[in-house]
Structure 1
Amino acid sequence: MSSLLEPLNIKNIKLKNRLVMPPMATGKSEDDGKISKEIIDYYDEKSKGGYISLIIIEHSYISQQGKASDNQLSISDDMVIDGLRNLSNIIHKNGSKAIMQINHAGSASKKSVTGMNAVGPSAIAHPRSELVPNELTKNEIKEIIKGFKDAALRVKKAGFDGVEIHSAHGYLLSQFLSPITNKRQDEYGGDLKSRIKIHLEIIDEVKKAVGEDFLLLLRLGASDYREGGVTLDESLIASKEFEKAGIDILDISGGFNGYGVENKEVQGYFSPLTEEIKKVVNVPVILTGGITDIKAADKLLKEDKADLIGVGRAILKDSNWAKNGIQSLK
C-alpha cells in the first residue's frame, strides 16, 4: 500500500512521488519530426515545479514507415538528438524525470503520411481502416528490432532517464501481440509466447545498447476489449515474461481500437487490469484511465491497484493540476 506523496526508487532513479504524466500526442513537432519551440514550451509548462515525478514524452516514430501521423515526434535518426537533449534538460531543470516513448505504427500508418506501404505482422486490415498491410518478412522484422534498439540509444544520448517501448493502442507491437491481427504461421505467430517473441527480442537488443542502469518501460495493451483479442489472462503471462526479460516498469493501458473500455466514467478504469498484473510481477505498475481527482489517485494507490498513477487529460487541460493536487494532499 502506497500514497501519492511517497517516493519510489527504481534502479538509480529516485521519483519524488507517484504521479506520472503519460504519453499524449501533441502534433506539435516540426514537419520532419524534429523538436519545435512549441513542444519545448509545452513540456516546460507541464513540468514546472517538478510536481509530476515522471513525464513520459509522446510516442515518437523509429522509422519513416512507422510514422503514425503528421507532425509526430521523430526518434528515427541522429539528427534529432540535439533538439531532444534541449527537451530533457528543461524537464530535468524543472525537477521531473523524463522518459521517451518509441513506437512503430505498423498497419495503423497511412501512405499519405509516410509515403510508403503499410506493414504488419499479417496481411490483415487494421480494424480502424480497410487498408491491408504487407506482411513483414523475417528480415524486415530484424530491421524493425534494430530500429527500436537504435532509437533507444538515441533517447539515452539525448539525456533522458529511460525509454518506453509502445505495445498498445493497435500499433505494430500490439498488432503482433493480438490474435486479431497476428495470423503468422512462423515463430512470430501462434501461441502467446510466439506473439511476444518480437517484444522479447527488442527488449534484449535495447538492454544491450543502453545498459542496465537506463530505465526500460513497456506500455502494454493488456486487454483488447474485443472478441478474439488479447485477454487479461494472456497479459498476466506476458507481463511475467517482460519482467524476466528486464522491463523495469509496466505501463498498463487497453483497447486495441481506441480504448473501447467499459465503465469509462470510473476513475482509473484500467484498474481491473493493473490490480491483477501487480499481483504477478515485482516491478512497478502504472495505472491510467480517466483520473481527474487527486484524492481518487491517492485512493487507488492505497487500495494497491498500482504503484504509480498516470494522469493525462486533467494535466493537459490544466497545467497547475499537479501543483494544486499535490499541495492539497500535504
Structure 2
Amino acid sequence: MGNSKLFTPVTFGPLTLRNRTIRSAAFESMCPGNAPSDMLLDYHRSVAAGGIGMTTVAYAAVTRSGLSFDRQLWMRPEIIPGLRELTDAIHAEGAAAGIQLGHCGNMSHKSICGCTPVGASGGFNLYSPTFVRGLRADELPEMARAYGRSVNLAREAGFDAVEIHAGHGYLISQFLSPSTNHRKDEFGGSLQNRMRFMDMVMEEVMKAAGSDMAVLVKMNMRDGFRGGMEMDETMQVAKRLEQSGAHGLVLSGGFVSKAPMYVMRGEMPIRSMTHYMTCWWLKYGVRMAGKWMIPAVPFKEAYFLEDALKFRAELKMPLIYVGGLVSRSKIDEVLDDGFDAVQMARALLNEPGFVNRMRDEENARCNCRHSNYCIARMYSIEMACHQHLGEELPACLKREIERIEAKG
C-alpha cells in the first residue's frame, strides 16, 4: 500500500487533482428541459464527498442539434447559473469539476434536437427511425466553433476541465470512422481527410481553453464492429490529438449505435430497459429484437487494458484508463502500468464513497455485480443502481437481474 500511486496528486495541463480517480462521463439522464437539476447536483456532490479527484458531468451538447436524449444538457447561457451551483458544490467537497462536451451527430430525432439530425454522411438511422442529413463542408467551421463556445461557457460555469467526446460513434467519431463517413469531399476518404473535422474542433477548443482549462479527449481504440476503425488508424488519431495539445486522452471503444456493449460489457437487461420506455412501439420493438440489436459482450475487470497498454507504449502524453474497474487492486495495477489516472462510473453509482473506502482498505472492491440495470433505465429515466432503489422492482425485472448477475 505504501508505494501505491492512487492517492498522489496528478496534473493535466493547468489542473492538478488531489488523487488519480475521475468519475467518468456516464450519462446521468438527470437534466429535464436540457438544464441541470437538484438531482444532478446531489449526485455529483455525493461522488465528490466520496473522495473522487474529479467528477465529470456527462454529455453536454454543444448545439441543440447535438442532443440525443431529452434529459441531456445543452450548453447555452441560460443554464450557467445552475451549473455554477453544481461546480460550487463539487469544489466545496474538495474535488475538481469536469464536463463532457459533444454532439451526437446522426443519433437523434427531430422531436429531441428540433431539426433533421445531421451526421458526417446522410442516410437512415434505424434506432431513432429517422432520415439523417450529411453536414455540408461550409457548415463545419461553425460546428467546430460551437465546441469552442461551449468551452468558454464551461469556464464561466466554474468547471476546471472539459472532456471532448471523439468516440463511441458520436459526431467526431462519425467523421473518423470509415463505416459512417462516406464523404467524397476533403473530409472523407483517407484517414488524413477523416481527421480534418476533429482537427478543426481541437483548434477551436484549445484556443478557448487558453491557459486555465484542462482539455481531455475521449476516443476509441477500436470501434468494436466489422468495418469500423481498428488500432492501426486509432493510434494515428491518438498521435494527432497529442500534437494538438490535448492534456490527456481517455481510451475507450465501441459505438453506441452499432456495438453498445463493447463500450460497457456484459449483457443489456432488455426487460428492464423496455419497462421504463413510454413509446409503445419502441417498447415492443426492443423487447422483440433487443437481444439481436444489443448483443452481449462478456464483462471482465479492466476489459480495455490490453488495448490501452499498446497506446501507453506509443504515446508520451498523459493517458486515463476507463473500463470495468471495480477493485483497489486492479486500479493499483493499472496505475503501475503507467496510466496517469483512472475513470469509473458504474462503481461509483453503486458506491459513491468507494474512493474513500479504497483509502482505508487495501482489498476494497465495490459491490457492482454488472447487471447493467443502471444503463437500461438511463434511456428513459435517471440512472440508478438497483441495489439502492426506493421502490420495489417488479418480479420480472428482479428475475432478469438475478439471472444476469448469476452469469457474471
Whether TM-score is above 0.5 comes out as yes
The letter for the 1-side match of 2:344 is V
Tell me the equivalent position of 2:71: 71
Equivalent residue of 2:140, what SS? helix
> Which residues of 2 match residues 4-19 of structure 1 at below 5 A?
4-19=6-21
Residue 327 (structure 1) aligned with residue 360 (structure 2):
yes
Tell me the equivalent position of 1:291: 325
Preserved contact between residue 124 and residue 181 of structure 1 (Cα < 8 Å): no
> Which residues of 2 match residues 105-184 of structure 1 at below 5 A?
105-126=104-125, 128=127, 131-184=130-183
Compute the displacement of 1:296 (Å): 1.1
Distance 1:108 1:202 in 2: 19
Compute the displacement of 1:212 (Å): 2.9
Preserved contact between residue 126 and residue 181 of structure 1 (Cα < 8 Å): no
Preserved contact between residue 264 and residue 290 of structure 1 (Cα < 8 Å): no
Distance 1:209 1:249 in 2: 17
Compute the displacement of 1:179 (Å): 0.5
Distance 1:35 1:255 in 2: 27
Tell me the equivalent position of 2:186: 187
Compute the displacement of 1:248 (Å): 0.5
Preserved contact between residue 5 and residue 18 of structure 1 (Cα < 8 Å): yes
Distance 2:254 2:326 in 1: 20
The letter for the 1-side match of 2:53 is S
**5+ unaligned residues in a row in structure 2: which ranges?**
266-296, 364-408
Tell me the equivalent position of 1:239: 238
Match of 1:28 among 23, 30, 41: 30
Equivalent residue of 2:124, what SS? coil
Tell me the equivalent position of 1:277: 311
Equivalent residue of 2:215, what SS? strand
Compute the displacement of 1:264 (Å): 4.0
TM-score by length of 1: 0.93
Preserved contact between residue 2 and residue 307 of structure 1 (Cα < 8 Å): no
Larger radius of gyration: 2
Equivalent residue of 1:279, what SS? helix
Say if 1:44 and 1:23 are closer, same or farther in 2 by CA, change over 3 A: same
Residue 207 (structure 1) aligned with residue 185 (structure 2):
no
Compute the displacement of 1:130 (Å): 5.0
Compute the displacement of 1:208 (Å): 1.5
Distance 2:111 2:4 in 1: 47
Tell me the equivalent position of 1:316: 349
User: Identity of counterpart residues, as a percentage?
Assistant: 30
Preserved contact between residue 52 and residue 95 of structure 2 (Cα < 8 Å): yes
Equivalent residue of 2:32, what SS? coil
Tell me the equivalent position of 2:300: 266
Preserved contact between residue 220 and residue 251 of structure 1 (Cα < 8 Å): yes
Say if 1:170 and 1:52 are closer, same or farther in 2 by CA, change over 3 A: same
Distance 2:126 2:227 in 1: 13
Distance 1:62 1:264 in 2: 33
Distance 2:41 2:143 in 1: 28
Distance 1:11 1:150 in 2: 20
Distance 2:181 2:206 in 1: 26
Moved more, 256-265 or 199-208: 256-265
Say if 1:127 and 1:197 are closer, same or farther in 2 by CA, change over 3 A: farther
> Which residues of 2 match residues 240-259 of structure 1 at below 5 A?
240-256=239-255, 257=258, 258-259=260-261
Preserved contact between residue 23 and residue 343 of structure 2 (Cα < 8 Å): yes
Distance 1:264 1:54 in 2: 29
Please tell me the root mean square deviation across aligned C-alpha atoms, in Å.
Answer: 1.9
Compute the displacement of 1:78 (Å): 1.1
Distance 1:245 1:12 in 2: 16
Equivalent residue of 1:322, what SS? helix
The letter for the 1-side match of 2:152 is L
Tell me the equivalent position of 1:103: 102
Compute the displacement of 1:131 (Å): 3.4
Compute the displacement of 1:265 (Å): 2.5
